[in-house]
Structure 1
Amino acid sequence: MDFTPPLQKGRLIKRYKRFLTDLVLEDGTELTIHCPNTGSMKNCLYPGQTVWYSQSDNPKRKYPHTFEIMQTDAGHSIGINTGRANALAEEAIINGVIPELEGYDTLQREVKYGEENSRIDILLTSQEKPKCYIEIKSCTLLEHDTGYFPDAVTTRGQKHLRELTQMVQQGHRAVLLFVVQHSGIFQVKPATHIDPQYADLLTLAVDQGVEILAYRTEITPQASKIIGPCEVITKIK
């Protein structure tokens, strides 16, 4: 996925009110941009270090610029825009980068499903296979060389796990796909220390047949793409 037009650079001052971020540009100008990440963004914000942001030409937007990448002095690149995860996953599935999800005829986005009024991120269908329901999560929390999800308590994420489990029980295929948007993450675990209920539901979902996949991304100011699998540990001893 190419960034078009090219991303622009600034340095982080702070994120606040969840959806706003202040930057200072190279000429000293301060700029407020939109932060498209509803999570806590724990261990993703480094004041004084490089931010890459996009610009929209939509005249209706109050803040036309969007926080895309946090680039740290430690050498890590972090995809801040969680909305990119679905597009990255779709691109990877179409291009055959995720072999576990090959062999389907059609791909649909945002399809209503389940008993709790949900929308599945991606639905794959084929005349020869059960339907495949794919829920996509962006993983960016790095702690002690391990990636964790979620970075805050998520009742919405808990609902999605229940819905995926029900799809398996109905005879369909259900997949939870972690798109790892942090260059320092090579292993993903449920964040039991942050949301123990989510971790318990994840264990139950796996026991019922929900598949868990994690794929790493390569993130640069020019483009972002899924590049390969990442280890997933679903049960915490």
Structure 2
Amino acid sequence: MRFDKLYKGKLVKRYKRFLADIILDSGEEITAHVPNSGAMTSCIEENCPVWVTFHDNPKRKLKYTLELTKMQDILICTNTGVANKIAIEAIKNGIIKELQGYNSLTPEQKYGVNSRIDILLENKDEKCYVEVKSVSLKINDFLAFPDAVTTRGKKHLDELVSMVKEGHRAVMLYVIQRTDNLPFTIAKEIDPKYNEALKEAMNSGVEVLVYQSDINLEEINLKTKSSLQM
């Protein structure tokens, strides 16, 4: 996925979860939308380099969107909505080998109890429900999910288990949106209930896939398969 034109700046502060004050390299001071509801631990700090996109849409209150940050030499895509887009591209381009062989791909399909599955894959004989999670947290020498307690994430796991019980295929796909190339694990010290729910889901037949992104200032794409270390 190619980024729209990126504008570089430095972070002043992030607040109210979805807002960030930024000074662009041009000297302009802006407030950008932060499309990330998580804690963003380890991927943002005062004065860190950031990149934003500009959207000249009269319906938007904030014209800028935070897309990338840089911590030390690591580029991080903090826009969680990107994960679904690059996952869909990777399936269509044959990068995710485990999710090939389906005739149709439908994003945001209603299922379960008042939920939407990120990706529904179908062919004549099978439905495959794919839930996508964006990974941006670093803990010691691991990348991890989640970065905050996620009751919504646990609910998604429960619903994937329900799909398996109905005879369908269900996949939990973790998309790493950092360039560290470190092992991936579950942040059980942050959300032990999610950790237990994932174990139960795997025991019930839910598959887990982990893929690493390749990120630069022009594009972000899923590139290589990684693995989960419990």
Report the Cα offset of residue 187 of structure 1.
1.7
Report the Cα offset of residue 29 of structure 1.
2.5
1:118 aligns with 2:97: no
1:216 aligns with 2:212: yes
CA RMSD of aligned residues (A): 1.0
Q: What amino acid sits opposite 1:160 in the alignment?
A: H
**Equivalent position of 2:19 in the other structure:** 20
Q: What amino acid sits opposite 2:152 in the alignment?
A: R
CA distance in structure 1 between the aligned counterparts of 2:105 and 2:213, rounded to whole angstroms: 21
**Equivalent position of 1:70 in the other structure:** 69
**Equivalent position of 1:3 in the other structure:** 3
Secondary structure of the 2:157 match is helix
**Equivalent position of 1:84 in the other structure:** 82
CA distance in structure 1 between the aligned counterparts of 2:22 and 2:35, rounded to whole angstroms: 15
Indicate the percent of aligned positions where both proteins have the same amino acid: 47
CA distance in structure 2 between the aligned counterparts of 1:12 and 1:160, rounded to whole angstroms: 33
Q: TM-score, normalised by structure 1?
A: 0.95
Asked whether the equivalents of residues 43 and 70 of structure 2 are also in contact (C-alpha less than 8 Å), the reply is no
**Equivalent position of 2:228 in the other structure:** 232
Report the Cα offset of residue 188 of structure 1.
1.4
**Structure 1: gaps (5+ residues):** none
Q: TM-score, normalised by structure 2?
A: 0.97
CA distance in structure 2 between the aligned counterparts of 1:3 and 1:25, rounded to whole angstroms: 18
Superposed structure 1 runs of 4+ greater than 2 Å apart:
none
Report the Cα offset of residue 71 of structure 1.
1.5
Secondary structure of the 2:22 match is strand
* Distance change >3 Å, CA 71–CA 226, structure 1 → 2: same
**Structure 2: gaps (5+ residues):** none
CA distance in structure 1 between the aligned counterparts of 2:120 and 2:26, rounded to whole angstroms: 46
CA distance in structure 2 between the aligned counterparts of 1:54 and 1:231, rounded to whole angstroms: 32
